[in-house]
Amino acid sequence: MRRFLVLCLILLAAPVGAGQEWELISVTRGPTWEVNQAKGALKQNGSVLEGVLKDKTDGKEDYQIRIELNGEHARATFRFISENDEGTTLTGISKRAAKPTKTHCPEQIQLMNSFQYIGLARDACEP
């Protein structure tokens, strides 16, 4: 019985560290415009939000992002894992709905630099 209770406590605690589901769009300027979409969980630790998101087309984990939030300001490092690059730095804003409801509380982060735009969005309602 004691082992069962310990197992239950572990299972109940597991979602606490789990990240919340985000959707990402990336628009990159190069020889041609490239648009990519991804989805997945990002974990927040203090003012840092980070994780690896899966491409919506092929399901591969290919988008690594680390965002430092400071009020409504955001600074991020983003990289395509499949391209094995060092990543790029983007800056932007983070906003939550001014008047959230119990079932609708959107949050968005918009980031950009001279050749890339990244938009992240989620419904940030807390249980």
pLDDT at residue 68 tops 80: yes
Cross-strand partners of 91:
75, 112
Determine the Cα–Cα distance for residues 26 and 38; give it in Å rounded to an integer.
8
Question: Residues 17-42: what's their mean pLDDT?
Answer: 90
pLDDT of residue 123: 84
Question: Residues 69-96: what's their mean pLDDT?
Answer: 94
Determine the Cα–Cα distance for residues 88 and 90; give it in Å rounded to an integer.
7
pLDDT of residue 6: 33
- pTM here? 0.79
